[in-house]
């Protein structure tokens, strides 16, 4: 059975509304999760601020410019947490047999996983990340135009898709090896720890890893370079920065393709 885009959209909206209503049955827990999201993002921000207090300029970037990188990465992560965080739970769903039920319904399993619950903590993430981005945008030397604003919006969305793509690929492994959830934790920690700084502060091998192996640089650093004029004026490095948002979209398309192929080879742990 093939469902139209309108039907899928209605399903997502209805499932999300029901999940939010269910979570709000426990108002105290609902508010506590939002506070936890605020606390987590604030802790990341405080760490960045401590580093900037000691090193106010890094690799030719001012503190406000570095905070733009940090805010873009944090907002991309918040959007990932809001829309895609359930993909991290796939190894656990496989182990407890819940995932098998998704394969018996006339809906894409990927969509069912994403709408299986609502990440309340992401609302707290959005509050902190959005506030920091607003502050950073008013303190960086950029001549804003419609094109620049659109580029920034697409970059943030692309960063969320890139993070979703990485976790989707890990989830594909989890369909065969349910104990692989540790990879998601590892990716989260690397992105939170190193994703808020200019790539120039790292040694060459680390730059290569964060550009080509774990493409952390494409989440915020390269788009911010293009916006702020830190990217070279021409050449391959210039186009790598300018076109960096395309990687998130392309990698997400690739990851969902791998997901569909992985489902064909999935076998329940129960036999």
Q: Each residue's pLDDT tens digit in the chain (271 positions)? A: 456 778 878 888 888 888 888 888 888 988 999 999 999 899 888 888 888 888 877 888 999 999 999 999 999 999 999 999 999 999 888 888 889 889 888 889 999 999 999 889 999 999 999 999 999 999 998 888 999 999 999 999 999 999 999 999 999 988 877 665 678 888 988 898 899 999 989 999 999 999 988 999 999 999 999 999 887 766 777 888 889 999 999 999 999 999 999 998 888 776 5
C-alpha to C-alpha distance for 144 and 148, rounded to whole angstroms: 6
Domain-located, residue 150: yes
Looking at residue 34, its pLDDT comes to 92
Looking at residue 3, its pLDDT comes to 64
Domain-located, residue 270: no
Instruction: Give how far Cα 5 sits from Cα of 11, 12, 32, 58, Å.
Output: 10, 10, 35, 46
Looking at residue 94, its pLDDT comes to 87
Domain-located, residue 247: yes
Nearest residue to 127 (alpha-carbon basis) of 90, 74, 84, 91? 74
Looking at residue 271, its pLDDT comes to 56
Element of type H or E holding 148: helix 146-176
Q: Are 156 and 146 in contact (CB under 8 A)?
A: no
Angle (nearest 5°) at CA 207 between 229 and 169: 105
Looking at residue 38, its pLDDT comes to 92
Q: How many domains does the chain have?
A: 1
Domain-located, residue 1: no
C-alpha to C-alpha distance for 151 and 174, rounded to whole angstroms: 34
Looking at residue 83, its pLDDT comes to 93
Domain-located, residue 214: yes
Instruction: Give how far Cα 31 sits from Cα of 34, 121, 125, Å.
Output: 5, 9, 13
Residue owning tokens 């990716």: 187
Domain-located, residue 33: yes
Looking at residue 178, its pLDDT comes to 64
Domain-located, residue 189: yes
Q: Could you list the residue range(s) of the whole structural domain that residue 232 is in?
A: 13-264
Domain-located, residue 72: yes
């Amino acid at each position: 059975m093939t469902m139209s885009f309108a039907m899928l959209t209605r399903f997502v909206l209805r499932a999300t509304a029901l999940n939010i209503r269910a979570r709000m049955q426990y108002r105290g827990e609902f508010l506590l999760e939002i506070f936890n999201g605020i606390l987590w993002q604030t802790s990341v921000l405080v760490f960045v601020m401590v580093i900037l207090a000691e090193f106010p300029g890094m690799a030719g970037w001012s503190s406000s410019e570095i905070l733009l990188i940090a805010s873009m990465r944090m907002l991309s992560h918040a959007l990932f947490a809001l829309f895609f965080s359930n993909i991290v739970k796939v190894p656990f769903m496989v182990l407890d047999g819940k995932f098998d039920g998704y394969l018996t319904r006339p809906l894409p399993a990927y969509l069912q996983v994403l709408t299986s619950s609502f990440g309340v903590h992401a609302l707290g993430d959005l509050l902190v990340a959005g506030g920091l981005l607003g502050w950073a945008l008013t303190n960086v030397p950029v001549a804003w135009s419609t094109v620049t604003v659109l580029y920034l919006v697409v970059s943030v969305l692309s960063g969320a898709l890139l993070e979703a793509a990485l976790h989707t690929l890990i989830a594909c492994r989890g369909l065969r090896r349910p104990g692989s959830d540790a990879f998601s934790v590892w990716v989260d920690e690397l992105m939170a720890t190193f994703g808020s700084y200019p790539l120039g502060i790292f040694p060459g091998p680390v730059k290569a890893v964060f550009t080509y192996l774990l493409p952390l640089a494409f989440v915020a650093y390269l788009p911010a370079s293009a916006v702020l004029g830190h990217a070279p004026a021409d050449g391959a490095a210039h186009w790598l920065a300018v076109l960096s948002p395309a990687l998130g979209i392309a990698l997400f398309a690739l990851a969902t393709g791998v997901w569909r192929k992985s489902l064909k080879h999935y076998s329940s742990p129960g036999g």
